[in-house]
Every structure is written in C-alpha cells, then in structure tokens.
C-alpha cells in the first residue's frame, strides 16, 4: 500500500470510498532498557528534548503503523482512513502503542 493512501482524515482527496472493510490495527508493547532509562534520566537534568525517549517513541509508533498497514493489506484494502494512535502504560516502564484506522477500498473519482 502506498503511504499516501493513509490519512487521519475520513476521505482521500480525489478518491471515492467504494467499500468499508472495518477496523484494522497494529499493536506493539515496548519497555525501556536500563541503559535507556539511565540515559533519559540524565538528559532530564539538562532539560529540553529527551532524544533517547523520542527515538524510542518514534520507532514504536512506526512499528505499530507498519503493522496496521500490513493488517489492512491482509483484508484487501488499498487505503486506510481515520488513523489514530493510542498509548497505555501497562506497567512501570512498559507501554502499549496502538495504531488503528478504517480499512477501505477506494477508486479515483472521475471528473
């Protein structure tokens, strides 16, 4: 699936939804390593962007997104609309990240 065929909106400009295939999702659960926790804690002393945690969060969201796209492909979708993320701390230092949306089949609109 082309990355351009995913959106947080409920439509894709220039395309018409012809079939709704339901909710698709990608879920991953991650924990910080002891080294990441120590490094992140040291960065909090300086202030500003805590790059170790930022990188972990970005990688985790990207993994959940990729899993959602794979799920959409499995059900035969060529697009995903209404994409959202949700995160929950399962236990101290362990976070679940969920990426979900509506799998659809779209076709280009005729003008």
The number of folded domains in the chain is 1
Q: Residue 10 is part of a domain; what is its CATH number?
A: 3.30.110.70
Torsion of CA 37, 43, 48, 51, to 10 degrees: -50
Angle between helix 34-46 and helix 51-74 axes, rounded to 10 deg: 130
Cα 70 to Cα 50: distance, rounded to the nearest angstrom:
30
Q: What is the pTM of this model?
A: 0.81
pLDDT tens, the chain, 111 aa long: 666 799 999 999 999 999 999 999 999 998 765 444 554 455 555 556 667 677 888 999 999 999 999 999 999 999 999 999 999 988 877 889 999 999 999 999 987
Residue span of the structural domain in which 44 resides: 3-108
């Amino acid at each position: 699936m082309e990355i351009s065929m995913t959106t947080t909106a409920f439509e894709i400009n220039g395309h018409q939804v012809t079939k709704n295939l339901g909710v698709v999702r990608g879920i991953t659960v991650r924990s910080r390593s002891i080294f990441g926790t120590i490094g992140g804690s040291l960065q909090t002393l300086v202030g500003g962007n805590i790059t170790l945690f930022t990188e972990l969060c970005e990688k985790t969201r990207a993994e959940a997104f990729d899993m959602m796209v794979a799920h959409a492909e499995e059900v035969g979708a060529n697009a995903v609309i209404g994409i959202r993320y949700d995160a929950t701390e399962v236990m101290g230092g362990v976070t679940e990240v969920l990426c979900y949306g509506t799998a659809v089949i779209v076709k280009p609109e005729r003008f």
